[in-house]
Amino acid sequence: MKNLLLLFSVGFLLSSCGGGGDNNSLEAVLSSGDVATLQAKKDELVTQQQDIQQQVKQLDAKLKELNPERNVPLITTFVATDTLFKHYVELQGSVETKQNLVITPEMGGILERVYVKEGDKVAKGQLLAKIDDGGLSQQLAQLQVQADLAKTTFERQERLWNQKIGSEIQYLQAKSNYEGQQEAVAQLKRQLAKANVRAPFSGTIDNVITEQGSVVSPGQTALMRLVNLSDMYIETDVPETYLTDVTVGKEVEVMFPVLGKKVTTEIRQTGDFINPDNRTYMAEIAVPNEDKTIKPNLTARLKINDYTKENAILIPQSIISENADGEQYVYVLTEKDGDKAVAQRVIIETGKTQGDIIEVVSGLSPGVEIIDEGARSVKEGQTVMIINQ
């Protein structure tokens, strides 16, 4: 209404000054070039403007008297309720397995046989490959003959000694020779066993790296990769500020973006060392992998439940204001009468946030009606109109 009156006043001024035949029109005064005439015309227009503004004020006052609700703010509200609140720390980690091994030989030589291929499932101790022993088996056969002779000699010498025949030194020499031969045979057998490459744990042959017939070196040549996907876990670095909150047993939501898969698990181990470079500590999270779709080094997004409250009051952060003293406040309704009420400012203390929601730790109680939309446009003690759907 006020805007219409202003437009009307401007139109009135223009029409009053726009008569082409009037010697007192704005065009005539401007074309006269006389300073006194120009000043007189300006004073006249200023007086007319002041009169119109005064009339507009009178009209506003009357409209307010006749329609007192026209400037009442329109607001929406919600009722504070206590609810379960779970706060999450969002981190990123990488999938690992403790049974992911590149197998290397313990003996050098020619890779004589490879008994497995990629994708084969193997059991712990199963023979995977064989390396040419370089004649060790023949040496073992010869040494075994000598060991058998030493055994026979010792047994005969022992029978004589038990019958008090012969000297003690002969008996001890035979015994020492027999035991030495036995140890030599056992040592050569251990050496010969290194020619057989066996699975250190059950799993799947992921990759056969070295082909049959190649020359291999002990501890250097990669023969094959063996992986077990049953015992998977995720390692992540947790900021030290969560040291007392992110602990063993805390619930974790794990999301694998590449797989579009989500699992719920828990922290099974935390580190006892804080990295001085980035002020973090390690957390290890178990990952169930029954369908074997989760692979080592897969990226995972983690939501670790570091804080839980059974009866929490949650409100949108957008409705919170702050006064000059740094105190946070919201507006609640009092003196409610139908769709009208009075806005009352309430000082609150807030806790943890999750997205655009924040926990109120003091200042509000369940059941109070809080102003939502329009919260930043109302004032203390102002009458408001509720327009909830």
| Same domain for 17 and 80 | no
Classify residue 298: in a domain, yes or no.
no
Same domain, residue pair 29 and 81: no
User: With contact defined as beta carbons under 8 Å apart, do 286 and 249 qualify?
Assistant: no
The model's pLDDT over 26-63, given as tens digits with 9 standing for 90+, comes to 788 788 878 888 888 888 889 989 989 998 888 777 76
> In angstroms, rounded to a whole number, what is the distance separating the alpha carbons of residues 314 and 81?
8
The answer to whether the CB of 242 falls within 8 A of the CB of 280 is: no
- The whole-number pLDDT of residue 68 equals 58
Q: What angle do CA 133, 135, 141 make, to 5 degrees?
A: 110
pLDDT digit string, tens, across residues 286-335: 998 888 889 889 999 999 999 999 999 999 999 999 999 999 999 999 98
Q: Is 389 exposed, middle or buried (CB count within 10 Å of its CB: 0-12, 13-18, 19+)? A: exposed
d(CA 246, CA 252): 10
Q: Which two tokens stand for residue 231?
A: 């015992």
Last residue of a domain, one of 66, 94, 117: 66
Which CATH number is 319's domain given?
Answer: 2.40.420.20
Q: Are residues 53 and 78 in the same domain?
A: no
Domain that holds residue 20: 2-66
For 174, the enclosing helix (H) or strand (E) is: helix 168-193
Residue of 245 and 136 predicted with greater confidence: 245
Using one digit for the tens of pLDDT, what is the confidence trace for 242-274?
Answer: 999 999 999 999 999 999 999 999 999 999 999
Structural domain includes residue 230: no
CATH label of the domain that carries residue 173 = 1.10.287
Q: How many domains does the chain have?
A: 3
User: Is residue 198's pLDDT more than 50?
Assistant: yes
Given the DSSP bridges, would you call strands 74-75 and 383-386 parallel, antiparallel or unpaired? Answer: parallel
pLDDT of residue 359: 94
Tell whether 81 and 27 lie within a shared domain: no
CA-based angle 309:315:319, to the nearest 5? 155
pLDDT above 90 for 387: no
- 288 is a domain residue: no
Are 375 and 350 within one domain? Answer: yes
For the chain, what is the mean pLDDT?
A: 86
